[in-house]
Each structure stands twice: as structure tokens, then as C-alpha cells.
Amino acid sequence: MSTFSSIHSPSYSHSFICSSSINEKKNQRFVFSSFPRFSVPANAKVFLQCQANSHQNAVLMQDGAVATKVSPVEKETPIEKLKSELLSVTSSNEWDEKASFDINENESTVSITVVGASGDLAKKKIFPALFALYYEGCLPKHFTVYGYARSKMTDAELRNMVSKTLTCRIDKRENCGEKMEEFLKRCFYHSGQYDSEENFAQLDKKLKEHEGGKVSNRLFYLSIPPNIFIDAVKCASSSASSGNGWTRVIVEKPFGRDSDSSAALTKALKQYLTEDQIFRIDHYLGKELVENLSVLRFSNLIFEPLWSRQYIRNVQLIFSEDFGTEGRGGYFDHYGIIRDIMQNHLLQILALFAMETPVSLDAEDIRNEKVKVLRSMRPLRLEDVVIGQYKSHSKGGVTYPAYTDDKTVPKDSLTPTFAAAALFIDNARWDGVPFLMKAGKALHNKRAEIRVQFRHVPGNLYNRNFGTDLDQATNELVIRVQPDEAIYLKINNKVPGLGMRLDRSNLNLHYAARYSKEIPDAYERLLLDAIEGERRLFIRSDELDAAWSLFTPVLAELEEKKIMPEYYPYGSRGPVGAHYLAARYNVRWGDLGLDQST
């Protein structure tokens, strides 16, 4: 490959640092701040590597020609001769064309298109996350945000809609209004159908106007129903993908309803995109405490030796919401709590928790280990699953609706709004350790946490002080993902005094007390990773296949046999059956405690 290198000439002293690779069908045109315009032939492959120094910049083409600007001299120097050879490559007309690539430290631009910009996810999460990245200085200098949807809307109307959901960091309020105004100036809107190549071609034209001839990198966020993923991807790929940079597509869950539909979706996506272009987002993987999970384990000597069946009695992954399906009943009834929460959010956390030490922090090494965990898991049996559905309940003079009271939900719906399951990993590290999952809506509180209950101390000298309930003496590590993020370890200690009275206390890392900085939203981290091409928090296709293979058989059995869910009152702790399931494996749910840290 030919290179741009630097040679000495007394005419110029200005030089700069840049790097770029170009291999395009059309001629590339460059503008140097200290050089004449020139064109590179279509078949030329050029690598720019200009070092800042006192030497003079020159251009070495693939055929060996060098271009540089030198002061006039009486006799033709070897450098001038080489320059003449380079200039003969192109016609004089091409020198007059406008440069399409500005070689400087900001030679590229990023265009972010939110497909489905008028929806709730875009308004509540995606646009606010993009603004937060801009406010923190994490976005490139040259970027544009485009909203794309079927709704008729002007740029001004989009900006007004977006402005209502933007907020600044609690710890960084200065220049908030000014930053919002600057960000909104970068936001534009284009109305079009999701299956129209013509509409996407019009979008492409607008994007090019904003990109101004720079290397264009394009990110499409599909904030749309899964049944129109493929149409949108097809049109974006054929009519609005980048011609000289990267094109990436973020796909929101659900990724199908079972193994077959998921495989069909993946196959259809790969007709238009490579696997490296597809970013399957699970926003729970962007949560701060989930990110900290591997740091906690792999960078602290006290935890890694304990991370196995020898010391861990059970692991609990708990997700609960204190509200129902208000506004999402129609969507939710098609999927249910198992598909909506357990098969993706909780299973992804389980894989991160249980994986072996990866070779490195590279995305593929981490995802390889997660896939090994999923493939080692025992197929889920119907008897290891409990399902429930919330019913109407009155409390404090307020009547809360049942799931089937939602007008978008069939009155005879059997879709579970609660599920609990016991899963097992059949490998040397975790053989026999139950991994209990629990997820539900309309429960008594809102939380997402990982609870690690350790084994009892063999021959504990202080057993008589705890009485017959040894669970009271169990050490427990709790990683609270949300809300009020924290990590705490429950230990046993002596109460001060002359007697021997034991107490259970917490070694507590409370994030709000320890760190003054506001914790970024998960979408901020994931959007930034997608822009930077970092894939470790996104789901690979074989990982998705392994996850669905665990849950598809039991989901099919639940639907074929029309298993009745156990009803539980709105605002309660869920079905009683979940406690029987845990008791079968000699486990007590850790979230039943009433101490101050739970």
C-alpha cells in the first residue's frame, strides 16, 4: 500500500498528523492547508500517515510518484520532476473541483438516525442519551442527529418535542440551556415510510448535505416494532448506507418470540448486513452495576476464589416493578414476562456472572465465555417454572386494576406477568448450584438485583447463638442494579457488650454516598459503544441462539397446555408458588428481608 510520507524542502515548514485509509470507486479529492489540490485515481489505495515535524510533506503514490510544493528554482529538481509525474495523472479540470475530504484531525462525521423518532423510546431514552453524550463531550466534533418516522413533522417540531425530555447532569448544571440549544441545532427530521427505498434515498441526500464531503459514518437506531425491522434495514442498507465509512444498525429487543422466529430474523438481517454491523441492544448490560460485575469479581482477590460451587449455595436474579402494563398491554400480551425480561435481561446477567475468566477484555473473548455458559445450561423444565398474573386489588382506598382490565388485553388472556424459574449450569464450576430467577410486574416494590448466598460455615462454633435458623447466619453478597445502586456484603459480628450476642451487619458500598457524580443512563453507554465500534455489551447471534434454546421448549409447553397462571394481588410479593419453588432447592428468597439495605 502506498503512503504519504514527509521529505525535506525549504519552501514549507507546516506539517500535521493524520491517518486515514481510502479505497474508493470514485476519485478522492484532498485539501491540504499547505498544499495544492490534487486528485487520486480510482484504483489508488492510499494510507495517510503524516508526522508533525520540520520536514516537508510529500505524496507518494502507489506507482511511486511523489507530490510536493517547492519554491521555484532555475533548474528542475528531482522533486519537481516527481511532482510533474503526479500531476500528469489527472486532468486540469479535476483540480478545480471542490475538495470532498478535509484532511485534519476531524476528517470524519457521524450521522445518527433514529428510526421511529416519534415513539416513546426515542423521546424518553434515545434523544436524552444523545444529548447527555454531547454535554459530556463524548460525541465527535462533526455529528448530526436525524429523526425518521412516518409522522409528518418539521425540524422545529422535532426539536420542540425532543427539548421537553432533555435534562442536564445534576452535578453539571452550568451552561445547560446553551448546550441544549447547540444540540437541538444538530437535530433534523425526515418523514418517510419504513419500507420505502425512495424515502430513505431522500434521507441519504439530506445526510450528505450535512456531512459536507467528509468520511461519513452512519448509525441507525431501530426504535420500531420488530415486524418492520427487515423492511427498514433493507431500505437503509440499499439507499442510505455510507459510501466511504462505516454503517451500523442498533436493533432493539425482542429478537423474535422463540428459536425459529429469532433465527429467521437473524437470517433476514444478514441478507443486508454483516454480523459486525448488527448491534443487538439489551440496555441492562449498560447498567453501571452490571458493568461493575466483572470488575468486582476479576480484580478483587477475595471474590474470585469463592466464585464456585464450593462456597456459593445459590444465586438469585430478581427483577420487580411496582406498576402494571399500563399503556403496553397489547404489546406485552404478545410476549409475556419470560420473553420480555427473563430470556434477555436476567439471562444475560447470569451469563456474565457465571462465565470463566476471559482471555482478555476484547468483545469476542467476553462473548465467547458467555456463550459457553449458555450452552452448558440444563434445559429448563416445566416443573421448575412458576407463572402468575396480577389481579385487581384495593389498598388505602385505591383500587388497582387487574391485568385483563386493560382494554388492549383479551379478557381470557393467560399471559404471565410474573415468572420464577430454577436454572442449572452443568459444568465443573457450578454443578448443582441453583440459579433462581424471579421477574414480575405490579409487585410491592421496584428493584433489580443479584443476590449471592454463600454456604453455611462447616462446624460453626457459634451455631447455638443463631438458633435453628442457620439462614440467619448466611453470608450474602448483594449487587443492587437499580434503584439506589449499591454493593453490600452481609456478615456476622459481635454486638458490643459483655455478653456474646451476634448481629448481622452490612459492609456497604452505597454509590450515592461514595460517588458524587451522577450515574449515566445505560443507553448513554451503549450508544457511545456503538459509535466507537465496541461490541462487548451487545449480543452476538450465536449467543442469542443459545439463549432461546433454553426457553423455547418450556414456552411452547406453557402455551400448548394452556397452563393457568397463579393470580396474585396488585402490589403484593407475587404468587405463593414462587416460595415453594425456592424451598424445593432449600433456598429462601433474599428480598424477603426487611433490613434497611434491602
Across 10-14, 24-28, 172-176, the highest mean pLDDT is recorded for 172-176
Rounded average pLDDT over 366-381: 93
The alpha-helical segments, DSSP class H, found in 338-429 are 347-354, 363-376
Q: What Rg, from alpha-carbon coordinates, does the chain have? A: 29
For residues 175 and 242, what is the distance between their CA atoms, to the nearest angstrom? 34
Q: Which residues pair with 279 in a beta bridge?
A: 250
Average pLDDT over residues 376-393: 92
Per-residue pLDDT of 266-305, as tens digits, reads: 999 999 999 999 999 888 788 878 888 888 888 888 888 8
| pTM of the complete model | 0.76
Determine the Cα–Cα distance for residues 22 and 108; give it in Å rounded to an integer.
12
- Percentage, residues of the chain above pLDDT 70: 77
The rounded distance, in Å, linking the Cα atoms of 580 and 587 is 9
Compute CA 30 distance to the chain's CA centroid, rounded to the nearest angstrom. 36
Catalytic residues: 345
Query: Rounded to whole angstroms, how far apart are CA atoms 211 and 102?
Result: 11
Taking a C-beta distance cutoff of 8 angstroms, is the pair 433, 309 a contact? Answer: yes
With a cut of 90, say whether residue 212 has pLDDT above it: no
Least confident of 434-448, 492-506, 574-588: 492-506
Q: Are strands 312-320 and 435-440 parallel, antiparallel or unpaired?
A: parallel
Which of residues 498 and 186 earns the better pLDDT score?
A: 186
Taking residues 370-399, report their average pLDDT.
91
Residue 184 cell numbers, joined: 437541538
φ, ψ at 93 (rounded to 5°): -65, -35
Render pLDDT for 521-579 as a digit per residue (tens, 0 to 9).
888 989 999 999 888 888 888 999 999 999 999 999 999 999 999 999 998 999 999 99
The answer to whether residues 501 and 495 touch, using CB atoms and an 8 Å cutoff, is yes
Residue 91 DSSP SS3: coil
Q: Tell me how far CA of residue 216 lies from CA of 29, 144, 242, 498, 572, in angstroms.
A: 15, 11, 6, 74, 52
* Mean of pLDDT values over 134-160: 90
Domains of the chain: 108-252 (3.40.50.720), 288-520+541-585 (3.30.360.10)
**The predicted structure's pLDDT at residue 430:** 95
Query: What pLDDT is stored for residue 471 in this prediction?
Result: 61
The pLDDT value given to residue 24: 39
Res 472: pLDDT: 65
Mean per-residue pLDDT over the chain, rounded? 79
- What does the block give as the cell for 224? 420500531
Contact 27/40 with Cβ under 8 angstroms?
A: yes
Question: What are the φ/ψ torsions at residue 539 (nearest 5 degrees)?
Answer: -95, 130
Check: CB of residue 145 under 8 Å from CB of residue 131: no
Distance of alpha carbon 396 from alpha carbon 417, whole angstroms = 23
State residue 179's pLDDT score.
86
Residue 64 has pLDDT above 50, yes or no: no
Cα distances (angstroms) measured from residue 554 to each of 41, 418, 541, 561:
60, 15, 21, 10
% of the chain residues with pLDDT over 90: 36
Can you tell me the distance from the alpha carbon of 571 to that of 219, in angstroms, rounded to the nearest whole number? Answer: 41
Is the pLDDT at 238 greater than 50? The verdict is yes
In b/e form, how buried is each residue of 260-277, taking b as 16+ CB within 10 angstroms? eebbebbeebeebbeeeb
